[in-house]
Amino acid sequence: MDLNATRSSDHPVDGGDSNDAARETRISRHLALRILPIFMFAYVAAYVDRINVSFAKLQMVVDLGFSDAVFGFGAGTFALGYVVFEVPSNMILQRVGAKRWLTRIILSWAIVSALTTFIATPKQFYVMRYLLGVAEAGLVPGIVYYISQSFPRYHRARVLSTFYAALPLSGLIGSPLSGFIMEYFDGIAGLSGWKWMLVVEALPAFVAALLCWKYLEDDVTQSRHESEADRAYLSRTLAQDRALAASASNDQMFGSWIFWTFGVIYFLDVFGIYGYTLWAPTMIKSLGVGRDFVIGLIAALPNAVAMIVMITVGQSADRHRERRLHTAALFLLAAAGLMLALVWHGNLWLTVLALCIANAGLLSVPPVFWGMPTAVLGPSNAASGIAWISAIGNIGGFFGPYVVGVLKQSSGSFALPVSCMIVCLLAGLGLTLVLPKHIVNR
């Protein structure tokens, strides 16, 4: 069977019996309450360590003499390391288990993030950002794979939306925290505020590694926290879900236009996410905001809105069993927000409102989007397929901030780079609508 194959039923397992549906919901909720707090805490720590460089820039470029192009390239090199090692990381996770491998990932990036404090030249900045990407590679695709193998298919968008809520939550917490540390720790023990920020914000990752090692289980169907009857039911349900997915070989997977379209769609969203996120503090500063702490508080607002939109849309996608149009609508929302930011530029609070709209769309795409490939990929290629799509997409994590930096430096404003992001998002909208709904909405 290839990736274009259809299946015969769109109903829940065992004929859609209401008792089975209630049981499936109860088991999924119980699993989520045990697993998601660990994953969300780890992702908050990871994303704060990944993007706090956007705040470090406010002082770093002065201390070290970096241009916008140097910063954009350096910020983006994280994605290069991430992309190169995503696929092998997920394959290793499949072999050694999530508990050991995810713990290793978390410890590695915590150490690298703290060591970034010692950079002094552009080359050192590039190397440390690349190593941070290498260290963190496999975290998100590993978690997505784990969720796809642990939760029944009609609960995955909701579970993924809850997990991905850690992304705006990290901005909600990390933005004001970063601004506070940079402003009020600056000069303590002779260190700049941005150096203190990198050290302090690396510490939660060590706690996340401990939680992952202590509480995560490699196979939820063998969990001691579930009754024997529930373990058997979950195992049977997951087996039926896998049977409905396309059992294609890797050669067939790579030969499918749908597979490559998934990768390009994800690339276009990630381009926008990193193009916006890693330049957001600078955008806000360009509107006349001077204090680092105030910039952090303002930068937190779009993330609060994104959390609400993300969870609401994820619930809607599961309730209606529809992912394609939900994903397309989020691309449209993000593009509209950036268009409004161009129109309202110069007015601080109207621009912040526009950024709230744009950020909500950008950050809400991934959890709904991932419901499509995880429904299509079969058990034999789920780990590699998820990792490949994530790797293709995360190339956008390099080009997004780099292109924004180059275009801003050459044009002197954010108008041209924001327009570039809008074009990418509209392309993502169009490609999403091209996907056959009878396949991606399984």
Taking all residues of the chain, what is their mean pLDDT, rounded to a whole number? 89
User: Would you state the pLDDT for residue 229?
Assistant: 83
Q: What angle do CA 223, 229, 234 make, to 5 degrees?
A: 60
Question: pLDDT exceeding 90 applies to what percent of the chain?
Answer: 65
What's the predicted TM-score (pTM) here?
Answer: 0.81
Over range 56-73, report the average pLDDT: 92
CA 246 – CA 299 distance, rounded (Å):
42
Quick: pLDDT tens for 240-259: 777 666 555 556 777 889 99
Q: What is the CATH number of domain 14-440?
A: 1.20.1250.20
Residues 6+ apart with CB under 8 A from 385: 253, 259, 373, 377
Query: Is it the case that residue 148 has pLDDT exceeding 50?
Result: yes
Quick: pLDDT tens for 121-130: 999 999 999 9
CA within 13 Å, CB half, 261: 21
User: Would you state the pLDDT for residue 386?
Assistant: 86
The letter for the amino acid at 406 is V
- Tokens 């260190």: give the residue: 191
CA 225 – CA 218 distance, rounded (Å):
13
For helices 292-320 and 156-164, the axis angle rounded to 10 degrees is 180
Bridge partners, residue 377, by sequence: 246
**Residue 159 · residue 28 · CB < 8 Å:** yes
DSSP state of 12: P
Bridge partners, residue 246, by sequence: 377
CA 414 – CA 10 distance, rounded (Å):
46
Query: Is it the case that residue 346 has pLDDT exceeding 90?
Result: no
Domain boundaries, the chain: 14-440
Return left, alpha or beta for 129; rule: phi > 0 is left, psi -120 to 50 is alpha, else beta: alpha
Residues 6+ apart with CB under 8 A from 11: none
Structure token digits, residue 287: 């509107």
Quick: pLDDT tens for 168-215: 999 999 999 999 999 999 999 999 999 999 999 999 999 999 999 999
User: Would you state the pLDDT for residue 152?
Assistant: 85
Residues 6+ apart with CB under 8 A from 229: none
Q: Give kind and range of the element (H or E) at residue 410.
A: helix 396-411
